[in-house]
Structure 1
Amino acid sequence: MVSSKFKEQMERYVNYRGIDIILHLKDGSIIELDKNRRLVGEEIVYFPQKANPSKISLTMIQKADLFVA
């Protein structure tokens, strides 16, 4: 379970299309989210390939880097 404050912050940043987001996950992997992303429940849904959505649970995120595009 993630804190409601973290979820609110991530929702705000995920919905804002003017920033790039790079997620550092607890398993050591790094994922760069493109502009086509959204928060559904406690998961970020993004599309690394046009037809195949991927999901990341908020509980898997260790940190997020935000960059103005």
Structure 2
Amino acid sequence: MGISKSYVDLLNGMSLSSLENEKGSILLMLQRLDLTDDDFYDLIKKLELIHLITLQNTSTN
């Protein structure tokens, strides 16, 4: 489990509006009833990463 380095690099390169769109799609996936524990863990880690990047971007602006 965990988030791949390429995904982290992709998120770091995104604009804030793109990050918000990605977060929205992840939240929609979390609403699925057939989500496995591993999928859930990965999605939560991605949301956490997006949150940290967003905080970092807003604190530097």
TM-score where L is the length of structure 2: 0.35
Higher RCO structure (Cα 8 Å, ≥6 apart):
2
**Which one has a larger percent helix, Structure 1 or Structure 2?**
2
* Higher Cα Rg, which structure: 2
**Which one has a larger percent strand, Structure 1 or Structure 2?**
1
